[in-house]
Structure 1
Amino acid sequence: MRTSTSLLLGGVALLAALPALLTAGLLNAAVQMLIAALFASAYGQLAGRAGMLSFGHAAYFGVGAFATVHAMDALNGAGLLPTPLMPLVGAAAGLGFGVVAGWFATQRSGTAFAMITLAIAELLHALAPQLKSLFGGESGISVMRTPAWGFNFGSTTQVYYLTLVWVLLSLALLYFHTRTSAGRLTLGLRENSHRLRFLGYDVHRLGVSAFAISGLFSGVAGALQVLANESANYVVFEAHVSASVVLNSYIGGVGVFLGPALGAALMSFFGYAVSDATQAWLLYQGVLFVLVMMFMPEGLVGLGGAAARRVKQLGASRAPPLLLLWLLAVLLLAAGAVFLVELLQRLCSQDYRALARAAAGWPPVTMFGQSWAAVGLATWIWPLGLLAGGGSLLAFAQRRLQMKEAQA
Structure 2
Amino acid sequence: MTPDVGARPLWRGRALAVVGILLCAFSLRSAVASLSPLIGQISADFPLSPTVLGLIGTAPPVCFAIFGLATPSLERRLGLERVMLVALSAIVAGLVLRGLSVDAVTLMLTTALIFAGVGMGNILVPPLVKKYFPDRLGLMMTLYTTMMSVSTFLPPLVAVPVADASTWRVSLGMWGVFALAGLLPWIIMLVRARTETMNAAPAPSRAGTGAELDPVTLATGPIQIAPTGARVFARLARLPLAWSIAIVFSASSTMAYVSFAWLPSIVTGVAGVDATTAGLLLSLFAFMGLPSSLIVPVLVVRFQATRAIFLVAAASGLLGIVGLLFFANPVTVWIWVALFGLLPMMFPLALVLISIRARTPESAVGLSSFVQSVGYLLAAAFPFLVGMLHDATDAWTAPLLLLAAVVIASIPFGLIAARRRTVEDEWESRHGRW
Normalised to the residue count of structure 2, the TM-score between the two structures is: 0.27
Which protein has the larger Cα radius of gyration, Structure 1 or Structure 2?
1
